[in-house]
Amino acid sequence: MSKKEDTTLQQQLKNLSQNELIDLTKIAIKSDNVVLLKLIDKQKKSIMQTNSPFANNSENIFNICKYGSSDLFNYFSDKKYDFSIKDTATGNKCQHFASIYGNLQVLNELIKRKNIFNMNDQNNKQETALHVALKYGQYRYEKTTMLLTRFTDLTLKDSELKEPHRIRMKNFKQNVRLSEFLHQKYIKQKQRQQNQFFQQLDQNESNQKQ
């Protein structure tokens, strides 16, 4: 955007009411327009402040996770927006929405923040981010491999008592390979858990004998 265009747009923004600016902010989020958001913020900082009604509207937070790029996510993350909130209707968190909508950029940002976002959190249907990544949307393979870079508990079951590797997908070759890959990962994780369980039993017995 040229300096002249920037000045013209700022002048147009000045003529908008607060409600119109809020509506424009929502559009900017869905269209991933960080430049416009910065201009709106420059025009009226109170709209996007952390304690504003806009910042505390869960729909706006979740739209960032559904439609935004990593730049958009980081823009609001730097503003200290709370991305750890839960949707009251579904129990979905940001990691669920990013997985459902196939938003790889935001999903990657959430995964990197391991001290804030737990990929094993379950929604009202007991689904983790991996469950919904396999059930919905595009980029199943990419979403799965990204989620497996963090500790993802493959033994957790959804409300249908299915672990992720048991979720049925359309019988495309890539999906078949993905199911097989997950099944192998599941077996290894289950074995590790069993080994840890028996090691703990042995340790307890040893402590009792002392």
pLDDT at 170: 65
Parent domain of 15:
1-56
- The residue assigned the tokens 């495309």 is 172
Same domain assignment for residues 117 and 47:
no
| Structural domain total, the chain | 2
Same domain assignment for residues 105 and 152:
yes
Of 56, 71, 93, the residue at which a domain comes to its end is 56
Same domain assignment for residues 84 and 169:
yes
Predicted TM-score (pTM) of this structure: 0.82
Beta bridge partners of 86: 93
Contacts 24+ apart (CB under 8 A), 76-80: 76/48, 77/109, 79/48, 79/49, 79/50, 79/55, 80/50
CATH of the domain at 90: 1.25.40.20
Range in 49-53, 87-91, 128-132 with the lowest mean pLDDT: 49-53
> How far is residue 17's CA from residue 25's CA, in Å, rounded to a whole number?
12
Same domain assignment for residues 46 and 74:
no
- Provide the pLDDT confidence category of residue 131 given band limits of 50, 70 and 90: very high
Same domain assignment for residues 34 and 133:
no
Same domain assignment for residues 100 and 37:
no
Q: What is the mean pLDDT of residues 97-107?
A: 97
Same domain assignment for residues 37 and 70:
no
- Provide the pLDDT confidence category of residue 4 given band limits of 50, 70 and 90: low
**pLDDT reading at 199 higher than 80:** no
- Provide the pLDDT confidence category of residue 205 given band limits of 50, 70 and 90: confident
Same domain assignment for residues 34 and 112:
no
Same domain assignment for residues 103 and 39:
no
* pLDDT (tens digit per residue) in 160-189: 999 998 887 765 666 777 888 888 888 888
Of 56, 74, 93, the residue at which a domain comes to its end is 56
Same domain assignment for residues 29 and 98:
no
Same domain assignment for residues 141 and 159:
yes
191 CB-side CA count, 13 A: 6
Alpha-carbon dihedral 89, 90, 92, 97, rounded to 10 degrees:
-100
Same domain assignment for residues 51 and 66:
no
